[in-house]
């Protein structure tokens, strides 16, 4: 069939070059458009393709792939979003229906000048891209999502570690003040041996955790025991 490829610059967003395939107005071109499900038997545009065009999973994947290449976009993994834009809400609903037939959920939304079928979530979008035949994009999308999740988890752990350090430091400062008060009043030597021991260890190691202090006792104690002894010292200092 005689055809021509034309290009033009997109005016919005990244101003990419867009491509159009123009078919000559002859009998063979019209027949091909009819067989492809674009024109009906009267050679008028169809709102929906005939069932035979989208009856099998491979056919639906090809149809959705064409919709994505023609008027789709995907962004992520942070705030992951994929959308297929259409002229009206009914067309967007049809795309969502095709996707649902193969287990993919697309929501539908109408805007002022167009409608769209869209998906959110990095895992769902990666699966849909793979179904459309964009395996490399799906892998990159999935890898970026994993990296983002790993980075977020590392930040949460770092923040948690920092918070634990702050809490331990504040608790140790309170304990040290109580020990110094008892020592200044001459009452530290009157304490039970296990209390004097934990007080001596806290003064010698002000930054150690309770578990580490407990392990240095003779014999080694539990974390709970170290906590009880230091709490007892604090209560005595308040008397």
Q: State the burial class of residue 117 (Cβ atoms within 10 Å of its Cβ: 0-12, 13-18, 19+).
A: buried
Q: Which residues of 196-208 are buried (b: 16+ CB within 10 A; e: fewer)?
A: bbbbebbeeeeeb
Q: Residue ranges per domain, the chain?
A: 1-46, 51-133, 161-238
* The residue to which tokens 């019209």 are assigned: 30
Q: What is the model's pTM? A: 0.54
pLDDT tens-digit profile of 192-212?
889 889 888 888 888 888 888
* C-beta separation of 71 from 113 below 8 A: no
Give tens-digit pLDDT for 23-68: 877 888 888 888 888 888 888 888 888 888 888 999 999 999 989 9
CATH architecture, range 51-133: Roll (3.10)
Inter-residue contact 39 to 48 (CB < 8 Å): no
Q: Which pair of structure tokens corresponds to residue 113?
A: 């000048």
């Amino acid at each position: 069939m005689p055809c021509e490829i034309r290009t033009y610059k997109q005016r919005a967003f990244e101003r990419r070059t867009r491509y159009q395939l123009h078919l000559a107005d002859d009998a063979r071109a019209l027949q091909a458009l009819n067989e492809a499900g674009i024109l009906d038997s009267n050679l008028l545009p169809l709102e929906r393709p005939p069932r035979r065009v989208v009856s099998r999973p491979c056919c639906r994947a090809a149809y959705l792939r064409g919709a994505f290449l023609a008027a789709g976009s995907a962004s992520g993994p942070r705030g992951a979003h994929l959308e297929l834009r259409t002229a009206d809400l009914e067309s967007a609903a049809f795309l969502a229906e095709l996707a649902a037939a193969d287990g993919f959920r697309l929501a539908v939304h109408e805007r002022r000048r167009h409608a769209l079928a869209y998906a959110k979530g990095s895992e769902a979008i990666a699966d849909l891209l793979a179904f459309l035949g964009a395996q490399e994009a799906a892998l990159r999308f999935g890898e970026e999502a994993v990296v983002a999740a790993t980075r977020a988890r590392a930040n949460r752990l770092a923040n948690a570690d920092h918070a634990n350090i702050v809490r331990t430091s504040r608790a140790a400062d309170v304990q040290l003040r109580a020990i110094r008060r008892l020592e200044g009043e001459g009452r530290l030597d009157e304490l039970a041996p296990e209390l004097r021991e934990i007080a001596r260890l806290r003064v010698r190691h002000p930054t150690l955790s309770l578990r580490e202090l407990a392990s240095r006792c003779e014999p080694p104690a539990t974390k709970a025991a170290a906590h009880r002894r230091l709490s007892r010292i604090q209560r005595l200092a308040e008397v």
